[in-house]
Amino acid sequence: MRLIDADALEEILKNAITIQEGMAVALGIEKDEGVQMELKAYRDILNSVQEQPTIGEENSHPTCMNCGKEIDAVEVLLFDHEGSDHWVMSPIFYDEPTGGVSIKTTRSWTSYDDQESYKESIRCPFCHEHPFDKEAGCEVYEPIEIVMWTKGRSSEQ
Ligand SMILES: [Zn+2]
């Protein structure tokens, strides 16, 4: 298991797109539907990594409800191409007045199809437990943004 951060992920995606485009042009298959779909998938993920979140600011930090350490990122479990999973660091956007926290991720999030399991797929980088209010649940917005709470569930954002 190894960690990569959001900046690294962005860099990997940009390189993948550049290489893919270059290959398609070199092979004269840039109009091919499969190539177009693959490039679109890469660009969608890149957009979701770059989008600004619905709530919160990146420079304001919550504390882990389990170990009490201040955290500016969480580890998120993502599937890779081979279907195995690995933890990826995601910066936290924190809205102190409501206690809302959000992170940006992709459809590779292992809880995307079973959001009830978010407590097992998002963890504190220090104690490896889920760092937020486990009773409050989560909400997921497209492109993928997961909103959780540090002090009970807030109705307004
Ligand atoms: Zn912790």
pLDDT in tens, 1-28: 566 777 788 888 888 889 988 989 899 9
Q: How far is the CA of 130 from the centre of ligand 1 (A)?
A: 7
Six-digit token string for 14: 């940009």
Which pLDDT belongs to residue 2? 67
Boundaries of every domain in the chain = 6-50, 73-149
Q: What is the pLDDT of residues 97-135, one digit of tens each?
A: 899 999 988 888 999 999 999 999 999 999 999 999 999
Q: How far is the CA of 144 from the centre of ligand 1 (A)?
A: 24
Q: How far is the CA of 5 from the centre of ligand 1 (A)?
A: 18
Q: How far is the CA of 76 from the centre of ligand 1 (A)?
A: 14
Identify the weakest region by mean pLDDT among 22-26, 43-47, 74-78, 92-96.
43-47
Q: How far is the CA of 28 from the centre of ligand 1 (A)?
A: 51
Q: How far is the CA of 132 from the centre of ligand 1 (A)?
A: 9
Q: What is the pLDDT of residues 31-46, one digit of tens each?
A: 888 888 888 888 888 8
Q: How far is the CA of 68 from the centre of ligand 1 (A)?
A: 6
Which pLDDT belongs to residue 157? 47
Q: How far is the CA of 70 from the centre of ligand 1 (A)?
A: 8
Which pLDDT belongs to residue 70? 96
Q: How far is the CA of 71 from the centre of ligand 1 (A)?
A: 8
**In this structure, which amino acid lies at residue 118?**
Y
Which pLDDT belongs to residue 87? 94
Q: How far is the CA of 122 from the centre of ligand 1 (A)?
A: 11
Q: Which single residue is written with the structure tokens 């919160």?
A: 56
Which pLDDT belongs to residue 116? 92
Q: How far is the CA of 49 from the centre of ligand 1 (A)?
A: 24
pLDDT over 70 (residue 155): no
Which pLDDT belongs to residue 101? 94
Which pLDDT belongs to residue 156? 55
Which pLDDT belongs to residue 50? 73
User: pLDDT-based confidence at 69, cuts 50/70/90?
Assistant: very high
